[in-house]
Chain A
Amino acid sequence: MIHAHDSAIVRTMSRLLIPLIQLFALYVLFFGQYGPGGGFVGGVMLGASLILGILVFGPEASPCRLAQKVIHGDGIGLMIFAVVGGLCLIGGGEFLNYANLEIPWVESDSRRRYLGILLTQIGVAIDIAVTAISIVLSLSLIDDSEESHA
């Protein structure tokens, strides 16, 4: 079981760091089409910021409410990705061919592909962040069950 950390330095620094990591993760996620980064890295960093919160404040504490809620969304990211692919099918093209996305205010094919890449990247980021938090919460239960048996 993960217990809350009682050092004031660690708690204060994580309070400062977690929002910065999340901000940088969002920057990496939405800037992935112009520089290094993208959905995968952005998702991992988003998950890592919440994992830092779990490790420092303990899984039950109030700053980790978001992390506990977020694991109910397992699979939503994958669904966003697959639904974008399905919308391309509905638009009359191949699966995941973003040029067939039907977005009314977008005229050019390249802009549709751009938006398709952005949407699928958000899907990947959500999927990876949720999975990382879910694995950490699963691992935090390992010795919990053994203690109750002993």
Chain B
Amino acid sequence: MTLFFNVTLLVLLIMTAAGAILVKDLISSVLILGSYSFLLALAWAWLGAVDVAFVEAVVGSGLATVFFLLTLFGIAPKDTRIRRPAPPMIALLGLPLLGLLLLYAAEDFPRFGNPESRASVHVSPEYLKNSLKETDTPNVVTAVLMDYRAFDTLIETAVIFTAGIACALLLRRNRQ
């Protein structure tokens, strides 16, 4: 049953990703991208990354779609059509080869959830062992984001603030 669910999820992910690229109209492309984000959120949740899944569902399929749609409704209808020239021969030949190379390299990744892999033996055991004792926070992800890596989060917050300011400066110039 789990295998059936996973295969369906993967097929739908690839289909929506291809659809978002191949469709002729930007508005349809944005809507398909929103459903792609939702499926990706399901994939994250299946892999156990619930916080990432939450952010992907809320931002990817919610907020980003609204921003894209508002932008598209603001421009002329003829600009939302995509005219796509045929891909060059070298791309058609080279990209499958590159994909095969990546699949070959993916064999060397550690198995999913392997406790001996590099990522699992470096700093994460320290966080897992000490975060409840040191911060009173049962959710390790929040403890890492907000305490151990608080400086990164501060700069991220500053980036988002800058994005808002930049949008206001660019788009509200004419309104006096």
Contacts and interface: CB of A to CB of B under 8 A. Distances in A.
B79 interface: no
Interface residues of A, number: 56
Interface in A134-150: 134-136, 138-145, 148
Identify whether the interface residues of B are mostly helix, strand, loop, or mixed: helix
Contacts of A104: none
A117 B146 contact: yes
A45 B58 contact: yes
Nearest to B171: A138
Contacts of B138: 33-34
Identify whether the interface residues of A are mostly helix, strand, loop, or mixed: helix
Contacts of A81: 153-154, 157
A78 B51 CA distance: 22
Given A37-B51, A37-B54, A74-B164, A47 B63 contact: yes
A36 B50 contact: yes
Given A81-B157, A98-B147, A120-B146, A36 B51 contact: yes
A128 interface: yes
Interface in B106-137: 133-137
Contact of B154 (A96, A128, A141, A148): A96
A62 interface: no
Report, nearest first, the 10 A-B pairs whose CB atoms are least far apart: A142-B74, A131-B164, A145-B174, A114-B136, A36-B50, A138-B171, A139-B70, A113-B135, A96-B150, A117-B146
Interface of B: 50-51, 53-55, 58-59, 62-63, 66-67, 70-71, 73-75, 133-139, 141-143, 145-147, 150-151, 153-154, 157-158, 160-161, 163-165, 167-168, 170-172, 174-175
